[in-house]
Amino acid sequence: MANIDAAFGLRPYKMLGAGANTSGLVSYPIQTVATAGSASVIYQGTPVIPLANGMIDIVGGATGGTVPLLGAFMGCEYTDLNGKPTFNNKYPGTAAIKANTVATGLISANPDQLFLINCNAAAADLIVHANADFATATSGNATTFISTAELDVSTVNTTNTLNMRIVGFEDTPDNDDAAVAGRLAIVLLNNHFYRYNANGTGAGI
């Protein structure tokens, strides 16, 4: 059956090994009373990074393992411009948030968390255990607020500083065709902030 080729960013799947998958989320500040948050929109499933000031931001240009990844953005709480407390699966950017208020992101941040991600091109079984970067890591759907990040098959390589390690594939009747885009890869974030040292270097898992 032809694949359902629909990007959704990083979707929490299972835990590496035999650990229980609680799908637990961790709260991190995106904005504080003293410090305005990111101007960027962050969509559900978008990879995010930690900042030196204790806050988080969208992955931005942090490709190729140059900045440690914290995990995947799953939603946030903030106060809108009218003073209304809001929960959303999209962080709308600091311009849509009341100044001098707190915005908190909910992040799937366990370094052993496995994720599903859509492949942007044909993906054969032989790429399992290789590594890859994101394609369109910062974009998202303006209606659903879901990330459109995908695994960039053209970047697949043995280089362990690439963003993701491919652990396997989720083979379902709707996504089992290796000859076309839309196969769902099971991945582990290679360059995780809680697995590597602060400058993002490491030998891989």
Residues 6+ apart with CB under 8 A from 22: none
Radius of gyration of the chain measured on its C-alpha atoms = 17
| CA proximity to 94, closest of 16, 17, 39, 167 | 39
Q: What is the pLDDT of residues 57-100, one digit of tens each?
A: 998 754 445 678 999 999 999 999 999 999 999 999 999 999 99
> In whole angstroms, what is the distance from residue 145 CA to residue 44 CA?
6
Q: According to the model, what pLDDT value does residue 198 have?
A: 46
Instruction: Please answer whether residues 66 and 198 qualify as being in contact, where contact means their C-beta atoms are separated by less than 8 angstroms.
Output: no
Residue 14 DSSP SS3: strand
More confident residue, 201 or 175: 175
